[in-house]
Amino acid sequence: MPRRRYARALQEETGQPTVAPQQAKPAQAQANTNPMIAMQRLIGNAAIQRFGGLNEPDSGALGPNSTSTTSNTTTTNTTASTTPQAPGLLSADGVVRAMSYYNIRAADYPPHIISQIQGALGVAETGRATPEMVQAVADFQSQNGLAVDGMAGPRTLPAIFEQGLDTEQTEEVFADEALDALDQWDSKSPEERAQALIDAANAGLAEHKISECTSTIVDLNVLAQFDFTTWNIELGKGVFEAATISNADYADAANTVYHESRHAEQWFSMARLLAGQGKTAQEIATQMGIPLNIANEAAALPYQPGSMEALVANGWYESVYGVDADYRNKTLTDLEKAGTDLEAAEADLAANDTPANRAKVATLRQKRQKLYDEYHNLPEETDAHRVGDAIEARILLKAELPDEG
């Protein structure tokens, strides 16, 4: 069976476009006149999500408008000499930079938030960033595939404070339901096989009072995306049409569905954040471009300002709608274009194998890899990949266990 993947498939591997053709999208959402939201609708969580087999780096901990982890190494010597040290992964300068991260953002990291981080990591709860704390954050990051910088920012906080689809119990139930559905593969249609994964993810969302997603199973191999303007997950049924499926391919499909469902959870969290800031459901719907009925459900569950949940949601909000929104949109647009350009160059190479055409393909591959890394490093993508990858690993592990009967 040819190995078919979703959006994250390598183009050279499958020959399929990695990005959903926009004309294939359902047009049920009202036209949104906010250009930023319109753009996000086009490219938001679209199927450019993952490219299997690429070398995915650890995520960086900082967005483009945040303090750089690498460029400000020159100003810390004098401070470093007076800072008490704690053993760990971070250098003395790294400790100073990490502590500064929290101190500079004191409004987002008041003492009760710092204490929660310290408590979660098992270090002394002082309410102020300490060397021991930032080393513990670095240790946590190292163990969780995150960039190691000691700064519990928008990528690290959701990993420390697991919620919703990222909680152990919910993952376990989803994995069991997914494998039950796999057992019934032979008696189900491709649509039913695909829908079973979406149903299982929706059960996880419902368990955490997050609005469930509608779904559209479409006749395309390479497609999976959450459209927040319609609260709909579109899923290509290609992989579900095979007579049999390997555990690896099935876990991969489950990863994709869980990843997209996690995006729904993120968007719901952002709506709850706005609700906690006093926004009405109508205002939330307009500001975020989400359906009013979803905004209504979120408005009934406001996050308390200053809470950890609000801080986590704010990390996603700043990336998608806030200070980093332009960077995000540019990254997604450029990545999509890089994929198209690469595909064209590969077609040229296939038709005419010249050194120049080879060089062009190599250059475009590098360019797309760099853009992919930037895309993966977006806070909401780092998070969705982390949660999706965890479910894939869990399903693979469970699938290989002896059947308990």
| Interacting residues toward Zn ion by CB under 5 A | 45, 49, 381, 384
Centroid of chain to Cα 227: 14
For Zn ion, give the closer residue by CB, 43 or 137: 43
The two tokens of residue 13 are 């591997």
For Zn ion, give the closer residue by CB, 279 or 386: 386
For Zn ion, give the closer residue by CB, 18 or 45: 45
Residue nearest to Zn ion (CB): 49
**Amino acid present at 122:** G
Cβ 249 to Zn ion shortest distance, Å: 19
Q: What's the per-residue H, E or C state across 250-304? A: HHHHHHHHHHHHHHHHHHHHHHHHHHHCCCCHHHHHHHHCCCHHHHHHHHCCCCC
For Zn ion, give the closer residue by CB, 43 or 345: 43
Of 61, 84, 68, 79, whose CA–CA distance to 151 is shortest?
61
For Zn ion, give the closer residue by CB, 118 or 329: 329
Cβ 381 to Zn ion shortest distance, Å: 5
Report how far residue 13's alpha carbon sits from residue 22's, in angstroms, rounded to the nearest whole number. 22
Cβ 388 to Zn ion shortest distance, Å: 8
The two tokens of residue 79 are 């401070």
User: Do 117 and 160 form a contact (C-beta atoms < 8 A)?
Assistant: yes
Cβ 313 to Zn ion shortest distance, Å: 17
Q: Which neighbouring-strand residues pair with 214?
A: 232
C-alpha distance across the termini of the chain, in Å = 29
C-alpha dist (Å) from residue 307 to 213, 233, 403: 26, 29, 43
Cβ 389 to Zn ion shortest distance, Å: 12
Cβ 8 to Zn ion shortest distance, Å: 9
Cβ 152 to Zn ion shortest distance, Å: 22
User: Do 50 and 141 form a contact (C-beta atoms < 8 A)?
Assistant: no
User: Do 347 and 86 form a contact (C-beta atoms < 8 A)?
Assistant: no
For Zn ion, give the closer residue by CB, 49 or 211: 49
For Zn ion, give the closer residue by CB, 374 or 381: 381
For Zn ion, give the closer residue by CB, 49 or 69: 49
DSSP secondary structure letters along 118-144: HHHHTS---SS--HHHHHHHHHHHHHT
Q: At CA 72, angle to CA 71 and CA 76, rounded to 5?
A: 150
Cβ 185 to Zn ion shortest distance, Å: 26
DSSP 239: G
| CA within 13 Å, CB half, 30 | 9
